[in-house]
Amino acid sequence: MLSLVLFTPFYEPKKEIVMETAVQVMQKIRSHGEQVADDSLRSVGALAEGDHTAQGDVMFWFLDNLPKDCIKTINPERQLAPGTTLGSRHCVCISDMHKIEFYNLKNPNALQGSILKCRDSVTIEHPEHGNQKLREGIWFVTYQRAYADELRRIED
């Protein structure tokens, strides 16, 4: 006996629709984030002048020399990005503060932060992006443009 099976290209099997609550979706996102998170210390290797590395919305640009129009900062803060949120806590490790001379441009814009003259490698801590070790040298701290818009709103 021969059986014949008809195949119709227009037939679509019934798909089960799964509805999830916002809480369930957020739990899945959080779980995935915990699985792929890498908070290990990241060391920045050799960079040429003008190269940069990022830690979230903060960039560290490697410079050969201090800019001519900069002023040494007296009693510098270890937090490099202004603000009080968890995301703004890009901080020099307390035990590394003595290895750095801090400078600022005379007339910085909203995207320009401190200039760090590091006599040795230093660690920049961050609770969300992980810690980053910058090597000896001069580092110019800048912020992403979206962050500058936020700063402008704060200044107004």
Distance CA 60, CA 137 (A): 11
- Please indicate, yes or no, if residue 71 is contained in any of the structural domains: yes
130 belongs to a structural domain: yes
For residue 29, tell me if it sits in a domain. Answer: no
pTM: 0.69
Percent of the chain with pLDDT over 90: 43
Do the domain assignments include residue 131?
yes
Q: What is the pLDDT of residues 35-91, one digit of tens each?
A: 656 666 777 777 888 889 988 889 999 999 999 989 999 999 999 988 888 878 899
CA–CA separation, 30 vs 36, rounded Å?
Answer: 10
Tell me the mean pLDDT in the region 15-26. Answer: 73
What domain range is 148 assigned to?
Answer: 40-155
In this structure, what token pair is assigned to residue 84? 């009080």
Q: Report how many domains make up the chain.
A: 1
Cα–Cα distance, 57 to 52 (Å, whole number): 12
For 61, phi and psi rounded to 5 degrees?
-95, 130
Contacts of 72 (CB under 8 A, 6+ apart): 101, 102, 103
Is 6 inside any structural domain? Answer: no
